[in-house]
A = this chain, B = another copy of it.
Amino acid sequence: MTWLRTPDGDPWGIHNLPYGSVTDSAGRRFAGVRIGDQVLDLGSCPARWSAYFADGALDEFLAAGRGIHAAVRTDLRGWLTDPGSEATLRPLLHPLDGLVAHRPFHVADYVDFYAFEAHAANVGRMFRAGEDPLTPNWKHLPIGYHGRAGSVVASGTPVVRPRGQLGPGRYGPSERLDFEAEVGFVVGTGTDPASTVPAEGFDEHVFGVVLLNDWSARDIQSWEYRPLGPMLGKSFATSIGSWVTPLDALADAWLPAPAQDPPPLPYLGAGRALDLRLEVRINGTLVSRPPFRQMYWTPAQLLAHLTSNGAALRTGDLFASGTVSGPERDQRGCLLELGWNGAEPLTLAGGATRAFLADGDEVTITAIAPGRSGPVALAEVSGRVEPAVSETPNA
């Protein structure tokens, strides 16, 4: 189909085309689109829209609006299937494995939701034993909170084990470091203050999707979070995939919205479920297959709720699903749940066990979406745990 001869069924084929920002071995940074095992330099393309990529990042392109997003994708798909374009584009292609990928956009505000019933109920059972696992509001509104945008890093960035207050009178390296497998949505077109985005407006404002790991220090979190929610237990690092999958690549992956009881208030609208099939590996061992389609709230409802008070959206806003967990044990999206707060450690290949993450552990999250032209891969999000730094402050 394309003159690049990507293999049949390649999940990075021409039906995918995610966007990123990379540096080549000569130190030149450019924005690119990934096709197969190659990256096309978008800022050098013979098109007027190449100017949006001139600074080597995606921010101006994200802000340019849906018309430009569609035009670029149409041009790329046309060129990559037109043998007459090969001579022009070949010099603009770079092998992926010679490039370093960066966080692909500037994160404006980062909001994390809590939209999987299995996850919220499991956490409730562990953190608030004796109470209802779900708080009374859980099925009435998508619960979320703001995270630290400045701590969002690209896949591959090492994650230093945080220090923190682990309980009354105890400060030290977290002893309960965890990952959270999530899906993040990237805002393209912003809004003005005091406007809202109904569920039907989702496609107008969301550009695409990244996998996300919201690293969590469970000991810090469980001690600090009442009454204002998680802060330092989460704010040290959040990793995202380095390639943003545009919604246009996921058109075949939408499913009817899940059943919701009680029916959501009209301002939340309906939306649809998104069929992303996640896999989580620790040091190569597959430990979970979290099913994104089981999210209780739809992605469009998350956005409708987020803007329901008139909060403006900005280009680069990132909102995430919360930990993706299904009802089965091997569908749980974090170690807190997989190992039941340390009570049932996981066994990895080779026999090592993990209640929580050890220094040196590498966590990798991947995902596939179904598509008529073949599966669509989302860029992995990966990170290795480094030991806590010395207690000596280095202000």
* Cβ–Cβ < 8 Å partners of A217 in chain B: 309
A357-395: CB near B (< 8 Å → 1, else 0) gives 000000000000000000000000000000001010111
* Cβ–Cβ < 8 Å partners of A171 in chain B: 265-267, 308
User: Contact between A109 and B197 (Cβ–Cβ < 8 Å)?
Assistant: no
Q: Is A284 an interface residue (CB 8 A)?
A: no
User: Contact between B201 and A393 (Cβ–Cβ < 8 Å)?
Assistant: yes
User: Contact between B164 and A236 (Cβ–Cβ < 8 Å)?
Assistant: no
Alpha-carbon separation in the docked complex, A198 to B149 (Å)? 22
Q: Is A69 an interface residue (CB 8 A)?
A: no
Tell me the count of chain A residues lying within 8 A, CB to CB, of chain B.
76
Alpha-carbon separation in the docked complex, A225 to B225 (Å)? 11
Stretch from A74-82, A226-234, A325-333, A348-356 at the B interface: A226-234
Task: Give the distance to chain B from A223, nearest Cβ to Cβ, in Å.
Answer: 6
Alpha-carbon separation in the docked complex, A314 to B107 (Å)? 13
Alpha-carbon separation in the docked complex, A200 to B233 (Å)? 24
User: Contact between B146 and A309 (Cβ–Cβ < 8 Å)?
Assistant: no
User: Contact between B148 and A145 (Cβ–Cβ < 8 Å)?
Assistant: no
Please judge, given known A-B contacts A151-B311, A312-B151, whether A228 and B114 are in contact too, CB under 8 Å.
yes
Q: Is A195 an interface residue (CB 8 A)?
A: yes
Q: Is A168 an interface residue (CB 8 A)?
A: yes
User: Contact between B150 and A108 (Cβ–Cβ < 8 Å)?
Assistant: yes
Q: Is A45 an interface residue (CB 8 A)?
A: no
* Cβ–Cβ < 8 Å partners of A29 in chain B: none
**Residues 212-257 of A contacting B (Cβ, < 8 Å):** 217, 220, 223-233, 235-237
Q: Is A141 an interface residue (CB 8 A)?
A: yes
Alpha-carbon separation in the docked complex, A168 to B171 (Å)? 40
Task: Give the distance to chain B from A313, nearest Cβ to Cβ, in Å.
Answer: 8
User: Contact between B309 and A236 (Cβ–Cβ < 8 Å)?
Assistant: yes
**Residues 172-196 of A contacting B (Cβ, < 8 Å):** 191, 193-196
* Cβ–Cβ < 8 Å partners of A237 in chain B: 193
Task: Give the distance to chain B from A362, nearest Cβ to Cβ, in Å.
Answer: 18
Please judge, given known A-B contacts A108-B149, A140-B169, whether A305 and B195 are in contact too, CB under 8 Å.
no
User: Contact between A144 and B231 (Cβ–Cβ < 8 Å)?
Assistant: yes
User: Contact between A310 and B200 (Cβ–Cβ < 8 Å)?
Assistant: no
User: Contact between A311 and B235 (Cβ–Cβ < 8 Å)?
Assistant: yes
Alpha-carbon separation in the docked complex, A193 to B226 (Å)? 26
A-B contact pairs, 18 of them (CB 8 A): A124-B227, A135-B226, A135-B227, A140-B168, A143-B224, A144-B231, A145-B228, A162-B310, A164-B309, A168-B262, A171-B266, A193-B237, A194-B236, A195-B394, A220-B309, A225-B228, A226-B227, A267-B391
Beyond A145-B228, A232-B311: 5 further Cβ-contacts under 8 Å? A127-B227, A146-B146, A163-B267, A198-B393, A217-B309
In the A-B complex, the 9 residue pairs with the closest CB atoms = A229-B229, A201-B395, A162-B309, A146-B146, A160-B194, A145-B228, A228-B229, A198-B393, A232-B309
